[in-house]
Amino acid sequence: MKFIIAMKESGMLLREFLSQQELSKKAVKLIKMHGKILVNGQRQTVRYCLRYGDVVELLWPEEVSTMEPYPLALKICYEDENFLVIDKPAGLPSIPTKRYPRNTLANAVVYYYQSQGIKATVHLVNRLDKDTQGLLLIAKNSYAHYLLSRDIKQVRRVYHCVVEGVLTGQGTITAPIIKDKKSVKRLIHPAGKFAVTHYRGLEVSANQSKIECILETGRTHQIRVHLSSINHPLVGDTLYDSIYQESYYLDSIALSFIDPFTQRLIEVKKDSKQFEKN
């Protein structure tokens, strides 16, 4: 990809100019070693002295994934040069792990890239648990991923879920989350990472409630552990004390972000699952 900057000042070393841009040191090193730095179309070192009117182009190295492709049809809700939003089905792991080493969403994205001739790796901006469904944002290159993931709060994520008990009105859960040393479970603990979930009641049927949640942070299992902490676990989420032996419903129904390249607001929505009356 290209990142073009029109110079307005002269007398500055290219090294100094790059350090002032929204680029990590790792990114600059990557471009120096495996990409190209051009000034007015000519390759230059970081010791080049910039002049008024110069145009700097950063040519990022092509990214090639080593992940095994998985031929799975993807429901793509949005796509441009830098970003991809996919509606992930429940039951599909987001990335390869020891437990799920292949046939994940990331493997399916690699297959899609190869079929479209896109030279890129998979950079997940947000992640969804295996049994969580809905919108997932992917950056097509490391720079796009860096720009969004450094301020995850500006990526607005809205979820719907069904919890046990009657939960109406709205509220905010602010509670730090830490990983249980003995399992995959997460716990509320003072030593955990800061986490904030806003919730709002939508519907009530019998002794279950449909809830809307908006995340400020993106901790693993955040919605699940936060709602369980106020005695309203997701229906069927036995890891977090649900009394029901069934699959839980947690759906990422809306996602929005400011495109860091165009400053345009990107909003993606999907039709959420209807609340099933008991």
The single residue of 54, 80, 87, 129 carrying the catalytic annotation is 129
- Dist. CA 95–CA 104, nearest whole Å: 6
How far apart, in whole angstroms, are the C-alpha atoms of residue 8 and residue 5? 9
What Rg do the C-alpha atoms of the chain give, in angstroms? Answer: 22
The verdict on whether 129 is a catalytic residue reads yes
Contacts of 62 (CB under 8 A, 6+ apart): 119
For residue 16, which phi and psi values (nearest 5 degrees)? -65, -40
Q: Which two tokens stand for residue 101?
A: 């080493």
Cβ neighbours of residue 142 under 8 Å, at least 6 residues apart? 27, 30, 60, 63, 121, 123
Catalytic residue numbers read: 129
